[in-house]
Amino acid sequence: MTAHSPSYRVGPGGSLLGTVRVPGDKSISHRAVMLGAIANGVTRITGLLEGEDVLATLGAFRAMGVTARGPRDGGLEIRGAGLHGLCAPAAPLDMGNSGTAMRLMAGLLAGQAFDSELVGDASLSRRPMARVIEPLRAMGACVEGGAGGRPPLRITGGQRLRGIDYRMPVASAQVKSALLLAGLYASGATAVTEPAPTRDHTERMLGAFGRPVTREAGTVRLLESGGALSACPVDVPADISSAAFFLVGASIAPGSELRLTGVGVNPTRTGIIDVLRRMGADIRIDQPRESGGEPVADLVVRHAPLRGIEIPPALVPLSIDEFPAIMVAAACAEGETVLSGAGELRVKESDRIAAIAGGLAALGVSVEERADGLRVRGGRVSGGVVDSFGDHRIAMAFAIAALRAEGPVTVMDTRNVATSFPGFPALARRAGLAIEVAA
């Protein structure tokens, strides 16, 4: 457990009620900053997530000469430098805790004329980057990682990139996006074939900035290279990954009824809703609409008795970030829940399979850790102390677990919650969670 990191102390029981708006989508916020920075003109962003991860991305572009006003109250105005207008940074670019930022930036920087280096915090420095280094090298990029292909990443500029037809061995929106960004600087077309659908925010946003991407039979293709991006307004919806904690919390806590407003419901991100509904959750999609090219809706969730399920393999990549919350739901469900084919969770901000298993066991839940997943038998949830291992999603998931716990729950090492959900304790408290922050 990390010294000097705040912890959460959460009282047992309670209900979640009312209307809440969770912060802006982190994935879309990253991409809006990146594309705005290399577009021609001024990109005006509303609803931006002002978390540490996104601020690290913005700071990197400021270090490369991009001017931006804000962020303030979710608003940011970026004066783009154009595809070839970035300047060499004077120091390594610090991506903080964000694997998304590091992998996407590797693709974008591979096409620049200057050398660069990407670094991160202790957690990010343990995360594997070979999955993006290898295909970028196949495009002609010069990218070197540290021991075991981990950060820091050193990128030699001035390389002539060429488009490739890459078949991903493991579904990854981050790798796909990195290659599409590198493809902006490559000769010829860049195509990526996915073994399973992943979030398509990059494709949608490239189209909005004037660079259409096609999809056919699982292959995403950037047809042209060399053309400029044109600035456009971006309205970032509320993050469904952040909404997931409240969807689970209201589902497991008797007497709950909660409305989550303006949530992004991109079909490549709604696996959390599909999984919870299969478990018996009462979730309604209300007032569907479109905002900035992304589908958006209000989500209304009421308490309902949950049952254990075997999670379908097709839903695993569509809910990969939400499994800490989903496994808390499994702990409160009747019967067994089985998750398989989720080995990707081993290389997130923590080893999430181990972190989830350890947290559930600490709260008295019967759990079996497997190489690529978990088996959870629902039932009694006791109080206890959970180590989040510095993982923001683990920390928030186990705070929500207290709604069904028999005693208080303490979650250690919660500083990194600010990377994706600044203000989580205050918003959760307003909805009805008895949460306090201890230094």
Active site residues: 321
* Cα 89 → chain centroid: 26
Which value, in Å, is the radius of gyration of the alpha carbons in the chain?
21
In the block, residue with structure tokens 């928030």: 396
CA distance 136 to 130: 10
Pairing of strands 93-94, 116-119: parallel
Q: Residue 200's closest CA among 294, 84, 73? A: 294
Using the CB atoms, write b or e for 31-52: b if 16+ within 10 Å: bbbbbbbbbbbbbbbbbbbbbb
